[in-house]
A and B are shown apart, each in its own frame.
Chain A
């Protein structure tokens, strides 16, 4: 079955450490996205990519980095510059006019 796979489901980061969240899709979608969700809040756009080898900053890109070397993959790195990274991270992909398909998310906690 086609879908989006995010891993790991839970991730713990020490202060000052970089961590990478994985997102893989086999839906053949061109566009992929990363969102952050804090408790009781909506989704905020971190980065998006509409085509391989190209990506754009969203509304809260500071402290994050991404790459899009393959159509299927859009990993997100949370760098030490992100001072408050504890959140629920959601990856999504889309085709025009068909809405967004989400992975099951990664819960990141700073310890």
Chain B
């Protein structure tokens, strides 16, 4: 089993929609998780850290569910500029395969 697995996507949503991605992890001892954003042909960039208490930054909210071993990313009021691939990763260096989001006018 892979260390992290993500919703396969793609997600195609209209502007203004709310969209959520999940990422499951296999190592119950994992403590740290992160969400990254990757634009086409660019390097991934850190979007948010994920804490047990949750983390919110503007339109973005990240949650950690230890009981079910998954993390989530919620994007509210989607913008065209949110179109990208979203990657999750834990402290064990293995990234999920990524979920592609396209926000349409």
Nearest chain B CB to A68's CB is how many angstroms away? 15
Task: Look across to chain B and name the residue whose beta carbon is closest to the beta carbon of A101.
Answer: B46
- Against B, the Cβ 8 Å flags (1 = close, 0 = not) of A85-97 are 0001010000011
Interface status of A61 (Cβ within 8 A of chain B): no
Residues of A within 8 A of B45 (CB): 102
Number of interface residues of B (CB under 8 A): 20
Main secondary structure of the interface of B (DSSP, over half): loop
Nearest chain B CB to A41's CB is how many angstroms away? 7
Binds A, one of B13-21, B52-60, B66-74, B95-103: B95-103
With A99-B34, A100-B34, A100-B89 known as contacts, the answer to whether A45 contacts B46 (CB < 8 A) is: no
Residues of B within 8 A of A (CB): 31-32, 34, 36, 41-46, 49, 87, 89, 91, 93-98
